[in-house]
């Protein structure tokens, strides 16, 4: 079940110059040099990214690095075919494409819920091919937050408890989980809905609760799969505005959508079709050049450290 | 190096309980129904064990009241099958044995006891006639249901005391009535209460020792000598009786312990309950299957939740423990309900039968342990399935 990566020799971002993709020839590990103090955390939410660095002081420049990622489902459907993708810290991007183009598959692979059949995936500096299922779980707990089209709130428990569930696997004590959940709910504008249960909330509110649950652990990466897909346009806009705000506070966010309008509002659009990246727009200096973090991307605060 | 730090945080016991009970809290009706099977099984087993323990306790209580320190000496079989007799002085000799506190004796008489002369002599109704000495009642720790025991005063004229079963058979409910023995009417002066240690007396009509000699031709040889000793000396007395009563032929004296039958009964009390226990076991098994079924459905229904938890960082092990915990809670609830139900049923039975209420701790512990084992087994397969579920498939909308 561990993927047969075509380039299993890729040791991770700390080893510059071995990136085989040709897509970004620049050394991957520049983040260390540029940000030696390891304070690359954008501290919007309280204690943002605290404890997420997993034992090393420098944060990799790229939260996501995919190289030649291919995903074939049993039966021969190739949902992804050689996808290269890098997402820098504090980016806000759309992954946009028609239905069936492989967006969800891509999100699952970025989110480490699934492994590629070929290619390498490095998330927050961890080459997932080398990680066991247990360690992948820990990676998700510490580094990744998910938002789903259909919210996936736990019925029958309050908004605050739903958000606190997002920290259940973090090792924090229960009281602290609930306290942080309250802060996160406040952040998404639902301070007055703490005790409401999912069936007492509107669709937009539910999705904001889900977003609060995804960001309460202060992940390095927030993945949202069609977050507005089940919402009316007003609620959808509110949710997108919230994502923008979170990004301004430093969160790295990838929004998956089939809706070009929504995608167009985001600083970067990765267009995907038939399992391949066909365009990557709005991204400054996409290839070859060294690029200091925190520049060239709207939405990333220049005073990142 | 940083990979080594990437290890999942473990869930504390409270958190395990929290995630394990989450599914139950939202579906109380299903909890009740699927725990019911286990509850019925455990209740059956607890009640069966409890009821038999209660009746055993009652038996032991009774035994305690009757004492296990009474022995009966009677003539054995002679070497050539001939009839042997105990010496006339035997009761006195037994009374002088060290440790013996009370002695009583009866001597069998051949005559029939009838309500009146009109009833044919061969219709004895199973009632035996015995001569009894005054000490008998005390040795037996018996009590009069009505009337008085044999004494010097009423021994001077034809008087008889009836065991309670013979009184019933003769249709006599109170003293003062007469019975017909050997061509003469005897006045019933008393009716004995139940004598569990001497059922043969319950079926007898007793005439005073000397009156029997005078009126009924009794030869004075006792056929049963009842004695009570201190608890500590029972064994020694038992060995001494034959040698004391008939030093030349100790084998001609047979000594029995009437309480041993009751003791054996107390020991085997509950043997008949095996079948019922088996039924309880079957109910328990069916209950376990019910829990497993509920768990499988729960896992199917909660695919999204499983996918969500996996996306939030739950390991396979944490998903597994969540569903095993749920199953354990489900069966544990059934087990507790079953223990309460079984104990209550035992109480009702014991109270209505005048028994002490006994629910053995080992049965409670064993029953609860069994539910935990069942809960684990029933939950393991669904939990493993839940843990193996691919997170991406679990998260798929339909
Ligand atoms: N579990 C699966 N097994 C087989 N094929 C799949 C599976 N999931 C997705 N696919 C296929 O992969 C392609 C991409 O699917 P998906 O990533 O869900 O696209 P999108 O999210 O862009 O609509 C589709 O052709 C789909 O049928
Ligand atoms: Mg999709």
pLDDT in the model for residue B271? 58
Q: State how far residue A289 is from chain B, nearest Cα, in angstroms.
A: 28
Locate the domains of chain B by residue range: 13-63+268-396, 69-256
Given a cut of 70, the residues of chain B with pLDDT beneath it are 1-4, 78-79, 121, 123-124, 269-273, 397-398
Q: How far is the CA of A151 from the centre of ligand 1 (A)?
A: 20
Task: Note the residue count of chain A.
Answer: 305
Judge whether A141 is closer than 8 Å to chain B, CB to CB.
yes
| Residues whose CB falls within 8 Å of the CB of residue B285, separated by 6 or more in sequence, listed in order | B41, B374
Q: State how far residue A166 is from chain B, nearest Cα, in angstroms.
A: 6
Q: How far is the CA of A268 from the centre of ligand 2 (A)?
A: 19
Q: Which of A:39-68 have CB within 8 Å of B?
A: 54-56
Structural domain that includes position A259: 12-282
Long-range contacts of B87-93 (CB under 8 A, 24+ apart): B87/B221, B87/B245, B87/B246, B88/B220, B88/B221, B88/B222, B90/B222, B90/B225, B90/B245, B90/B246, B91/B133, B91/B135, B91/B222, B91/B225, B93/B244, B93/B245
Q: How many CA atoms lie within 13 A of A190 on its CB side?
A: 33
pLDDT in the model for residue A161? 94
pLDDT in the model for residue A5? 37
Q: How far apart are alpha carbons B23 and B295 in whole angstroms?
A: 10
Residue closest via CA to ligand 1's atom 3 equals A73
CATH no. for residue A111? 3.40.50.300
Sign (positive/negative) of CA torsion B21, B24, B25, B28? negative
- Is A292 a member of any domain? no
- Is A145 a member of any domain? yes
Atom of ligand 1 nearest to the CA of A106: 17
Percent of chain A with pLDDT over 70: 73
pLDDT in the model for residue A283? 63
Judge whether B276 is closer than 8 Å to chain A, CB to CB.
no
Best of A53, A145, A151, A169 to substitute, by most chain B Cβ atoms within 10 angstroms, is: A169
* Residues A63-102: tens digit of each pLDDT: 999 999 999 999 888 999 999 999 999 999 999 999 999 9
Q: How far is the CA of A265 from the centre of ligand 2 (A)?
A: 20
**CB count in 10 Å sphere of residue A245:** 14
- DSSP H/E element including A279: strand A276-281
Q: Is the pLDDT of residue A55 over 50?
A: no
Residue closest via CA to ligand 1's atom 10 equals A79
The response to whether residue A77 sits with its C-beta less than 6 Å from ligand 1 reads yes
Q: Is the pLDDT of residue A9 over 70?
A: no
pLDDT in the model for residue A212? 95
Sign (positive/negative) of CA torsion A169, A172, A178, A181? negative
Judge whether B228 is closer than 8 Å to chain A, CB to CB.
no
pLDDT band per the 50, 70, 90 thresholds, residue A128: very high
pLDDT band per the 50, 70, 90 thresholds, residue A246: very high
pLDDT in the model for residue A49? 39
Q: How far apart are alpha carbons B354 and A188 in whole angstroms?
A: 68
Q: How far apart are alpha carbons A204 and A240 in whole angstroms?
A: 10
* Residues B121-177: tens digit of each pLDDT: 676 678 999 999 999 999 998 999 999 999 888 877 899 999 999 999 999 999 999
pLDDT in the model for residue B82? 73
Torsion of CA A215, A217, A223, A225, to 10 degrees: -70
* Residues A158-179: tens digit of each pLDDT: 999 999 999 999 999 999 999 9
pLDDT in the model for residue B119? 77
Percent of chain A with pLDDT over 90: 66
- Is A297 a member of any domain? no
User: A263: helix, coil or strand?
Assistant: helix
Please choose, from the candidates B156, B155, B173, B157, the residue with its C-alpha nearest in 3D space to the C-alpha of residue B115: B173
User: B355: helix, coil or strand?
Assistant: coil
Judge whether A176 is closer than 8 Å to chain B, CB to CB.
no
Into how many domains does chain A fold? 1
Phi, psi of A300 (to 5 degrees): -95, 130
- Is A66 a member of any domain? yes
């Amino acid at each position: 079940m561990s993927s047969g990566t075509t380039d299993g020799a890729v040791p991770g971002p700390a080893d510059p110059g071995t990136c085989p993709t040709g897509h970004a020839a620049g050394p991957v590990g520049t983040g260390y040099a540029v940000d030696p103090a390891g304070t690359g955390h954008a501290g919007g939410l309280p204690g943002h990214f605290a404890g997420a660095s997993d034992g090393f002081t420098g944060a990799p420049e790229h939260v996501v690095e995919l190289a030649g990622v291919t995903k074939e489902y049993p039966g021969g459907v190739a949902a992804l075919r050689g996808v290269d993708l890098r997402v820098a810290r504090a980016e806000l991007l759309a992954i946009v494409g028609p239905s069936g183009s492989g967006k969800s598959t891509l999100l699952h692979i970025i989110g480490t819920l699934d492994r590629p059949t070929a290619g390498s995936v490095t998330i927050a500096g961890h080459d997932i091919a080398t990680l066991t299922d247990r360690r992948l779980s820990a990676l998700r707990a510490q580094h990744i937050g998910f938002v789903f089209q259909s919210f996936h709130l736990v019925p029958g428990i309050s908004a605050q408890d739903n958000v606190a569930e997002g920290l259940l696997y973090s090792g924090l004590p229960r009281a602290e989980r609930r306290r942080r959940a309250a802060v996160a709910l406040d952040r998404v504008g639902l301070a007055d809905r703490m005790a409401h249960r999912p069936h007492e909330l509107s669709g937009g509110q539910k999705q904001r609760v889900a977003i609060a649950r995804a960001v309460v652990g202060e992940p390095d990466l927030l993945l949202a799969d069609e977050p507005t897909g089940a919402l009316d346009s007003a609620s959808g806009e509110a949710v997108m505005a919230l994502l923008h705000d979170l990004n301004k506070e430093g969160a790295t966010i990838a929004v998956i959508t089939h809706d070009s309008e929504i995608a167009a509002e985001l600083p970067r659009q990765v267009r995907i079709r038939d399992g391949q990246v066909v365009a990557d727009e709005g991204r400054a200096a996409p290839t070859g050049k060294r690029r200091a973090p925190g520049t060239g991307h709207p939405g990333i605060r220049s005073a990142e450290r | 190096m940083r990979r080594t730090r990437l290890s999942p945080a473990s869930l504390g016991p409270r958190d395990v309980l929290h995630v394990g009970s989450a599914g139950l809290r939202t579906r109380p009706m299903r909890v009740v129904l699927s725990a019911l099977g286990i509850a019925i099984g455990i209740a059956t087993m607890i009640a069966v064990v409890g009821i038999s323990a209660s009746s055993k306790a009652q038996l032991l209580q009774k035994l305690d009241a009757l004492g296990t320190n009474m022995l009966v000496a009677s003539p054995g079989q002679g070497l050539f099958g001939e009839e042997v007799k105990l010496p006339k002085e035997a009761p006195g000799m037994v009374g002088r044995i060290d440790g013996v506190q009370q002695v009583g004796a009866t001597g069998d008489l051949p005559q029939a006891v009838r309500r009146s002369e009109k009833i044919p002599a061969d219709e004895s109704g199973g009632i035996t006639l015995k001569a009894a000495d005054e000490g008998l009642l005390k040795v037996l720790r018996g009590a009069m249901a009505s009337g008085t025991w044999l004494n010097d005063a009423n021994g001077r004229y034809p008087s008889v005391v009836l065991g309670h079963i013979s009184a019933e058979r003769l249709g006599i409910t109170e003293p003062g009535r007469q019975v017909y023995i050997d061509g003469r009417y005897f006045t019933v002066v008393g009716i004995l209460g139940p004598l569990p240690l001497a059922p043969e007396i319950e079926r007898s009509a007793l005439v005073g020792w000397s009156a029997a000699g005078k009126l009924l031709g009794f030869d004075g040889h006792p056929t049963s000598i009842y004695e009570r000793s201190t608890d500590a000396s029972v064994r020694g007395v038992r060995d001494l009786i034959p040698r004391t009563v008939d030093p030349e032929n100790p084998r001609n004296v047979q000594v029995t312990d009437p309480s041993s039958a009751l003791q054996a009964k107390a020991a085997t009390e509950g043997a008949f309950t095996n079948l019922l226990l088996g039924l309880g076991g079957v109910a328990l098994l069916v209950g376990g299957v019910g829990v497993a079924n509920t768990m499988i459905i729960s896992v199917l229904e909660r695919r999204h939740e499983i996918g969500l938890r996996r996306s939030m960082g739950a390991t396979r092990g944490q998903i597994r423990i969540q569903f095993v915990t749920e199953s354990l809670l489900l069966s544990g609830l059934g087990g507790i309900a079953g223990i309460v139900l079984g104990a209550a049923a035992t109480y009702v039975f014991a109270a209505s039968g005048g028994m002490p209420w006994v629910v053995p701790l080992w049965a409670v512990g064993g029953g609860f342990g069994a539910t935990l084992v069942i809960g684990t087994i029933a939950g393991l397969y669904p939990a493993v399935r839940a843990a193996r579920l691919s997170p991406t498939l679990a998260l798929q909308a339909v």
